[in-house]
């Protein structure tokens, strides 16, 4: 079946990219109608809408769900797909996810070779092949102490990255892109105090240490283009764990800036490993974000769900040889 022949739903976040997605939607809609004349277009209006729209679309029998927005929109759509109860017959597979990048960071799209150019991305959606990818599952706590359960596709971090995410959430008018993330990271570092956290991955013993951030990555990029986990691949059956330890402010700024080169951070207190499960806790309040969305705070448990979703990607995402 051609992608354009599928029962297609476009989940459009007009507020993505500081509103640029909405301002440019008229031109995009005319482009997609040429290839998806029967596709339905549904707009989000508030946080959580994309999850509800995607879930409902799946349960109505749609089999191709396309997220138009940034990482946050994709995050919500993924949760809608995973939470949906499939219609009869029960053996019907979950729908395919497509991504049309239109957001502030679009880090997941960058990592799997989905181009930012609308025409090229649309061409990929029409002709691209879906590949099975891993996703992650989080259990943590919200402000009131209630347990939160969420799936993630790109990356999770707790520490300074989540505080930056909280700042950006409160100021959605900021222009999208790398400068915004860098500026907010620098501003946050001026007052951020590295928390002490305890965490254990897989069967390894518990580690307690001061950190500036811990990233659990399913993909290489986060934070508006930071290549925080250069070896991460979305279908390798493991999550990449990056622990950035008790770095001082200016050292942290310099080292985090190095990630834009696509290389590992070379520092004795920055450690890379891999895992399928991570448990973390702290006596202080440590925020946690997933795919650029503030989710809650520690304690948290993260687990890998191997090849649970089919996504149209731009490049082969097979596991390369790793320099470990």
pLDDT tens digits along 233-253:
999 999 999 999 999 888 887
The last residue of one of the domains, among 87, 106, 128, is: 128
Residues 165 and 282 occupy one common structural domain: yes
Residue 324 in any domain: the answer is no
- Does 30 reside within a domain? yes
Task: Please tell me the total count of domains within the chain.
Answer: 2
The string of DSSP letters for 114-179 reads --SSHHHHHHHHHH--EEEEEEEEEEEE-TTS-EEEEEESSEEEEEHHHHHHHHHHH-TTSPPSHH
* CATH code at position 158: 2.60.200.40
318 falls within a domain: no
CA 174 remoteness from chain centre: 19
Regarding predicted confidence, which is higher, 178 or 61?
61
- By three-state DSSP, how is residue 261 classified? helix
Q: Are 106 and 177 contained in the same domain?
A: no
Within-domain flag for 322 = no
- Grade residue 321 by pLDDT with cuts at 50, 70 and 90: very low
Indicate whether 93 belongs to any domain: yes
Strand-strand pairing, 155-159 and 213-217: antiparallel
What confidence category does residue 283 fall into, taking pLDDT thresholds of 50, 70 and 90? very high
Residue 312 has pLDDT above 70, yes or no: yes
Q: What is the CATH number of the domain that holds 29?
A: 3.40.50.10330
Q: Summarize pLDDT for 79-134 with one digit per residue, the tens.
A: 999 998 766 555 556 789 999 998 777 899 999 999 989 899 999 999 768 999 99
Domain final residue, candidates 72, 107, 128 = 128
Domain boundaries, position 48: 3-128
**Same domain (yes/no): 178, 250:** yes
Domain presence at residue 71: yes
The answer on 254 and 212 residing in a single domain is yes
- Mean model confidence pLDDT for the chain: 88
């Amino acid at each position: 079946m051609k992608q354009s022949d599928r029962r297609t739903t476009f989940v459009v976040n007009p507020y993505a990219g500081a509103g640029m997605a909405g301002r440019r939607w008229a031109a995009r809609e005319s482009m997609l109608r040429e290839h998806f004349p029967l596709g339905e277009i549904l707009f989000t209006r508030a946080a959580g809408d994309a999850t509800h729209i995607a879930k409902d679309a799946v349960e109505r029998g749609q089999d191709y769900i396309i997220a138009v927005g940034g990482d946050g929109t994709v995050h919500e759509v993924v949760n809608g797909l995973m939470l949906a109860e499939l219609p009869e017959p029960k053996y019907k597979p979950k729908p395919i996810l497509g991504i049309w990048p239109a957001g502030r960071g679009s880090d997941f799209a960058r990592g799997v070779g989905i181009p930012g150019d609308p025409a090229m991305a649309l061409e990929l959606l029409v002709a691209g092949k879906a590949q099975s990818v891993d996703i992650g599952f989080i259990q943590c706590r919200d402000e009131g102490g209630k347990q939160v359960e969420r799936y993630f596709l790109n990356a999770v971090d707790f520490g300074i990255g989540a505080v930056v995410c909280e700042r950006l959430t409160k100021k959605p008018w900021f222009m999208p892109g790398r400068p915004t993330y860098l500026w907010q990271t620098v501003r946050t570092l001026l007052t951020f105090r590295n928390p002490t956290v305890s965490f254990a991955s897989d069967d390894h013993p518990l580690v307690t240490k001061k950190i500036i951030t811990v990233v659990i990555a399913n993909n290489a990029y986060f934070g508006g283009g930071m290549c925080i986990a250069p070896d991460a691949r979305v279908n390798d059956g493991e999550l990449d764990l990056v622990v950035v330890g008790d770095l001082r402010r200016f050292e942290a700024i310099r080292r985090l800036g190095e990630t834009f080169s696509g290389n590992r951070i070379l520092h004795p207190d920055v450690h890379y490993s891999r895992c399928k499960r991570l448990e973390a806790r702290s006596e202080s309040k440590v925020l946690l974000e997933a795919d650029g969305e503030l989710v809650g705070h520690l304690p948290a448990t993260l687990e890998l769900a191997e090849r649970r979703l089919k996504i149209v990607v731009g490049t082969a995402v097979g596991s390369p040889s790793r320099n470990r």
